[in-house]
Amino acid sequence: MIQTIAVIGAGTMGSGIAHIFAQYGFSVHLVDVRPEALEKALLTIRKNADRQLTKGVITPDIQQAIQNNLHSFTSLQEGVRNAQLVVEAATENKQVKLDIFKQLDDCTSPGSILATNTSSISITAIAAATQRPEKVIGMHFMNPVPVMKLVEIINGYSTSKEVTETIVALSKQLEKTPCVVNDYPGFIANRILMPMINEAIYSLYEGIAGVTEIDTIMKQGMAHPMGPLQLADFIGLDVCLNILKILQEGFGNPKYAPCPLLTNMVAAGKLGVKTGEGFYRYTPGTKELVPAR
């Protein structure tokens, strides 16, 4: 039975994942190599829980439980020792993840499930870094975790049926919607989303329409809550570029080739919301969408 969950990486996703597990009564061990990341994550979780209370999403008891259930660690060994489940949400870098999974395999009890929140790295390759590939699975939450309902669950080549069932049941316990898919480049979410974003960027690059027109067409015409260019800014243009390269290489199909405009913008450091400029310009304190060009 899962009672203690270790979350590795206290960035954007790790803090959201820790929040949701703590909210649903699990004891959460949040681990990061950087103490300042842990400090920031705990502050973010407190602020988000306050907002949930104000909106009536949680009761004062749950708000208190979220704080009580969270424990932070800079040592991976200490953080994962008693965990029945580990969810890794560290930096999206294959070598970083392989090293973490090797350590997890040594430091957790052999029955523990090891999940990764990776958005693009092969689950099968990560599992191969351990002696228990049947217990390794993808548990891909969406950003922002406390709000988004989907959990894309990815079976690696060797993932056992029991492990998949446990993670499906756990996702339902969090009142999320689990969808189980197999491990091929981009899984399902990014395999469909990234070509759409790339096509939107091509449409801009070829001068067929402007930023506002492209996003308005997809928002008003297809009922998307955000246009593809705004969504690309939100995800990070560097992240989009990386995932497209993984699709192109993984399938050996030129249809996934990243648009040269995307490559140029990443080279120019225009990465979207996180750098203050991508397809739009972002000024703190205003929500107005201003195209950068």
Compute the distance between CA of residue 3 and CA of residue 87 in angstroms, rounded to an integer: 13
Q: Is 11 in the site for ligand NAI (CB under 6 A)?
A: yes
Phi-psi region of 263 (alpha: psi -120 to 50; beta: other; left: phi over 0): alpha
Q: Is 59 in the site for ligand NAI (CB under 6 A)?
A: no
**Nearer CB in complex with ligand NAI: 203/236:** 236
Compute the distance between CA of residue 191 and CA of residue 168 in angstroms, rounded to an integer: 21
Q: Which of residues 216-235 bind ligand NAI (CB under 6 A)?
A: 235
Q: Are 141 and 148 in contact (CB under 8 A)?
A: yes
Specify whether 119 is catalytic.
yes
Specify whether 29 is catalytic.
no
The residue range among 84-92, 163-171, 211-219, 245-253 that interacts with ligand NAI, by the rule CB under 6 A, is 84-92
Compute the distance between CA of residue 224 and CA of residue 122 in angstroms, rounded to an integer: 28
Tell the smallest beta-carbon distance from residue 259 to ligand NAI (Å).
20
Specify whether 39 is catalytic.
no
Give me the catalytic one of 15, 69, 190, 203.
190
Compute the distance between CA of residue 179 and CA of residue 193 in angstroms, rounded to an integer: 16
Binding test (CB under 6 A) with ligand NAI, winner from 3, 34, 59, 192? 34
Tell the smallest beta-carbon distance from residue 12 to ligand NAI (Å).
4
3-state helix, strand, coil in the chain (%, to 5): 50, 15, 35
Specify whether 242 is catalytic.
no
Q: Is 100 in the site for ligand NAI (CB under 6 A)?
A: yes
Binding test (CB under 6 A) with ligand NAI, winner from 48, 92, 136, 211? 92
Q: Where are the alpha helices (DSSP H) in 108-256?
A: 123-127, 161-173, 189-205, 211-222, 228-235, 237-251
Tell the smallest beta-carbon distance from residue 120 to ligand NAI (Å).
6
Q: Is 18 in the site for ligand NAI (CB under 6 A)?
A: no
Q: Is 9 in the site for ligand NAI (CB under 6 A)?
A: yes
Both structure tokens of 177? 């919607």
Residue with tokens 């990815």: 154
Q: Which residue pairs, CB below 8 angstroms and at least 24 apart, start in 59-68? A: 62/23, 65/22, 65/23, 65/25, 66/19, 66/22, 66/23, 67/22
Q: Is 118 in the site for ligand NAI (CB under 6 A)?
A: yes
Binding site for ligand NAI (CB under 6 A): 8-14, 31-34, 37, 76, 89-92, 96, 100, 117-119, 140, 143, 235
Which residues participate in catalysis according to the annotation?
119, 140, 152, 190
